[in-house]
Amino acid sequence: MVDKRMTPQEVVAQIRNGDTIVIGGWGIDRKPMVLLREIAKSKLKDLTIMSFAGIDIDLLIGAGKVKKFIFPFISLEGAPGVPGNYRRARANAAIEVMEISEYMFVCGLRAAAERLPFYPVRSGLGTDVLKVNPGIVTFKAPYTGEKLVAVPALKADVALLHVSAADPSGYAQILGDPLFDAVMARGAEKVFICAEKIVPQSELRRDYDRIAIYKMYTTGVVEAPYGAHPGFCYPHYEWDARHLTEYSQAAADAEAFKNYLAKYVFNAPDQAAYLKLVGKA
Amino acid sequence: MAKKKLSYTLEEQLVSALAREFTPEDEIGVTAIFTFSFVAATLAQELYAPKLAVCMMAKGRWGLLNKVRYPFEVGKPPGQFIEALMTMDDIFDFLVRGKWNIFMQPAQIDKYGNMNISTIGDWHKPKAALVGARGVPDNTTNGGRVYYNVANHTNRVFVEKVDFVCGAGYGPERKQGVIKWGAPKKVFTNLGVFDFEKKTGRMRVASVHTGVTQQQVVENTGFELIWPKRVPETPPPSEEELHLLREIMDPAGVRRLDFVKGDDFNRVMKEIQTGTTYEMVYGK
């Protein structure tokens, strides 16, 4: 067996400036926060981020890492409103944005995973999504002649995911909604999986049905308890409403967010130190 | 025999009006959680749509729920209400198959039923960046029936032209038959119910609620509505509906939450969580 265990630092060392990164999860559900904080700490820049977004993209924008953002929505769910780093970046037109619908996003991922140039959808017709994305074209369907939208493949250099458990070879188990993590993994060049725990293969295969990502797609696995904090990872923990509120308040102001980064990102050399800071140790 | 005059609240009238939109053929309904529209879908299951399952977060996935009784914690419906669990992937399957009937809440809506939850101002440099297009472009081209809810009907929401079209209303593509599904059917607000005129695709007054004046509707709408010659009053809830709502399904009054803010909201939440009605439903 090839042992794919690595540290967050080793993951970040495999990411290049200008890479396109797809982030697993949805909103604040199963976001690989340990890896994202490591990116925030690094010298990486000019990243393109694709995500069903929540705190993930807001943190990376706040840390100055994002050149372009491809997304259908951004929501913190547990805390009120849309997070501040994103709002400021939009108000100042400081990042490039590709806004598409949820199903267009899903189908763009599918196209990438299937090595197709595009996926046909009806979504987007009659809306301004097509107006602000002149690169997304419509076409006349063969056989019926109806007008459809060709969603371009959303290819990624790197996929960053968070799951319940993984084994050292790279099989990964998701106990909540598997969401679109597997299709993200299939469409990315490198796939790094953060897991609440890393267990021997003999333990993982007691529940074959919950294996959501196969080792053939996995580049590396990282163990990180509470790795999705302050979001949630079912059934291990719920979202930390207090920390999300603290995050929201900090993100609302550029200066306050610098302090947030200093306190929770730069001041925490590893996940154990972070968990002490947020009261989860 | 003279009809007994019922007393009822705005949210009860709205819940009743929404519930009556469901039919015996309907199989899935989805609404934002813990709003009057969710209570309406549950009421519809009892009275108008026996096949209907209501979609809600449950057990880390999505539940198809039936015979729901309130209250319970968001995302944690008790097991006896859950018929089946599904994933987000299944949800999109239902949507593109056209089985999905949905209630959504616009930040802006215009006279042709175009709706916006993405950005206020110029999209390239927005005054306010909201949540984003989400699944609205998907629902308004693939969906079953699409409804919009507005708890606070003002001319900031009802605008001449939306700043960004997330949801396709009755524009040229709909008229030409390019878009076949997911047309917005009605808009339910705290002032009235609105539908769309077939010929022009423009928003029309279907009814105004008890105690609401036509002037109130005009003053709070940023475009010219089509008015019928005689403006009907939104039908009152029936005695059976009120009994089910107040005594059986929602004694704690989750249906009120859309219409209270700030301290009032906190008070109602506390009532829901700790009131005697809660104990009445679930015991101590």
SS3 track for chain B: CCCCCCCCCHHHHHHHHHHCCCCCCCCEEECCCCCHHHHHHHHHHHHCCCCCEEEEEECCEEEEECCCCCCCCCCCCCHHHEEEEECHHHHHHHHHHCCEEEEECCCEECCCCCEECCEECCCCCCCEECCCCCCHHHHHHHCCCEEEEECCCCCCCECCCCCCCCECCCCHHHHCCCCCCCCEEEEEECCEEEEECCCCCCEEEEEECCCCCHHHHHHCCCCCCECCCCCCECCCCCHHHHHHHHHHHCCCCHHHHHHCCHHHHHHHHHHHHHCHHHHHHHCC
Q: How far apart are the C-alpha atoms of A246 and A128, rounded to whole Å?
A: 34
- The reply to whether residue A123 touches residue B142, judged by beta carbons under 8 angstroms, is yes
User: What is the per-residue pLDDT for B259?
Assistant: 85
Q: What is the pLDDT of residues A207-227, one digit of tens each?
A: 888 999 999 999 999 999 999
Q: Which chain B residues have a beta carbon less than 8 Å from that of A102?
A: 92, 134-135, 138
Q: How far apart are the C-alpha atoms of B245 and A40, rounded to whole Å?
A: 50
Q: Supply the pTM of this predicted model.
A: 0.95
* Residue numbers of the domain that contains B259: 1-102+237-284
* A95 shares contact with chain B (CB less than 8 Å): no
C-alpha distance from A119 to closest chain B C-alpha (Å):
14
C-alpha distance from B15 to closest chain A C-alpha (Å):
25
For A91, which of B126, B131, B180 is closest by C-beta distance? B126
Q: How far apart are the C-alpha atoms of B101 and B85, rounded to whole Å?
A: 18
- The reply to whether residue B87 touches residue A177, judged by beta carbons under 8 angstroms, is yes
Mean pLDDT for the stretch of residues A227-232: 97
What is the distance between the terminal CA atoms of chain B, rounded to a whole angstrom? 43
Q: What is the pLDDT of residues A165-190, one digit of tens each?
A: 999 999 999 999 999 999 999 999 99
User: Residue A68 is which amino acid?
Assistant: K
Same domain assignment for residues B67 and B124: no
Q: What is the ipTM of this complex?
A: 0.96
Q: How far apart are the C-alpha atoms of A65 and A40, rounded to whole Å?
A: 7
Same domain assignment for residues B97 and B125: no
The rounded percent of chain A whose pLDDT value lies above 90 is: 95
Same domain assignment for residues B125 and B97: no
Q: Which two tokens stand for residue B28?
A: 């899935």
Q: Which two tokens stand for residue A213?
A: 């990502």
Q: What is the CATH number of domain A8-101+155-270?
A: 3.40.1080.10
- Residue the block writes with tokens 């972070």: A274
User: Residue A166 is which amino acid?
Assistant: A
Same domain assignment for residues B221 and B132: yes
Parse chain A into domains and list their residue ranges.
Answer: 8-101+155-270
Domain count, chain B: 2
Q: How far apart are the C-alpha atoms of A113 and A35, rounded to whole Å?
A: 23
C-alpha distance from B140 to closest chain A C-alpha (Å):
8
User: What is the per-residue pLDDT for B75?
Assistant: 78
Q: CA of B94: which chain A residue's CA is closest? A: A103
Would you place residue B263 in the very low, low, confident or very high pLDDT band (cuts 50, 70, 90)? Answer: confident
- The reply to whether residue B179 touches residue A126, judged by beta carbons under 8 angstroms, is yes
Would you place residue A78 in the very low, low, confident or very high pLDDT band (cuts 50, 70, 90)? Answer: low
Same domain assignment for residues B50 and B147: no
User: Per-residue pLDDT for A200 more than 50?
Assistant: yes
Segment among B2-16, B78-92, B144-158 with least mean pLDDT: B2-16
Would you place residue A73 in the very low, low, confident or very high pLDDT band (cuts 50, 70, 90)? Answer: very high
Same domain assignment for residues B88 and B126: no
Same domain assignment for residues B97 and B113: no
Q: Which chain A residues have a beta carbon less than 8 Å from that of B60?
A: 175-177, 234-235
Mean pLDDT for the stretch of residues B38-55: 93
Which residue intervals of chain A are DSSP H helices? 8-13, 33-41, 55-62, 84-91, 102-113, 128-131, 181-186, 201-204, 241-251, 254-261, 271-277
Return the closest-CA partner of residue A32 out of A56, A51, A54, A49. Answer: A56
Which residues are within 8 A (CB) of B80 and not within 5 positions of it... i.e. 6 or more apart? B67
* A129 shares contact with chain B (CB less than 8 Å): yes
* A117 shares contact with chain B (CB less than 8 Å): no
Q: How far apart are the C-alpha atoms of B202 and B145, rounded to whole Å?
A: 18
* A interface test, pick of B34, B87, B88 with most A CB neighbours within 10 Å: B88
Q: Which residue did the predictor score with more confidence, B256 or A155? A: A155
Query: Is the Cβ–Cβ distance between B100 and B144 less than 8 Å?
Result: yes
For A127, which of B60, B95, B165 is closest by C-beta distance? B165
User: Per-residue pLDDT for B271 more than 70?
Assistant: yes
Q: Which residue did the predictor score with more confidence, B265 or B99? A: B99
Return the closest-CA partner of residue B253 out of B240, B269, B264. Answer: B269
Between helices A241-251 and A55-62, what is the axis angle to 10°?
40
- The reply to whether residue A74 touches residue B131, judged by beta carbons under 8 angstroms, is yes
Query: Is the Cβ–Cβ distance between A127 and B123 less than 8 Å?
Result: no
Q: Which chain A residues have a beta carbon less than 8 Å from that of B130?
A: 82
- CATH code, B150: 3.40.1080.10
Reduced to 3 states (helix: H, G, I; strand: E, B; else coil), residue A203 is helix
Q: Which two tokens stand for residue B10?
A: 């705005």
* A26 shares contact with chain B (CB less than 8 Å): yes
User: What is the per-residue pLDDT for A80?
Assistant: 66
Q: Which chain B residues have a beta carbon less than 8 Å from that of A180?
A: 88-89
User: Residue B105 is which amino acid?
Assistant: Q
- The reply to whether residue A103 touches residue B62, judged by beta carbons under 8 angstroms, is no
Cis status of the peptide bond prior to A120, with omega within 30 of 0: no
Same domain assignment for residues B225 and B113: yes
User: Per-residue pLDDT for A42 more than 70?
Assistant: yes
Same domain assignment for residues B50 and B121: no
Mean pLDDT for the stretch of residues B89-111: 94
CB contact residues (below 8 A), chain A span 170-229, against chain B: 175-180
Q: What is the pLDDT of residues B164-214, one digit of tens each?
A: 999 999 999 999 999 999 999 999 999 999 999 999 999 999 999 999 999
Would you place residue B72 in the very low, low, confident or very high pLDDT band (cuts 50, 70, 90)? Answer: confident
Q: What is the pLDDT of residues A113-165, one digit of tens each?
A: 999 999 999 999 999 999 999 999 999 999 999 999 999 999 999 999 999 99
User: Per-residue pLDDT for B284 more than 70?
Assistant: no
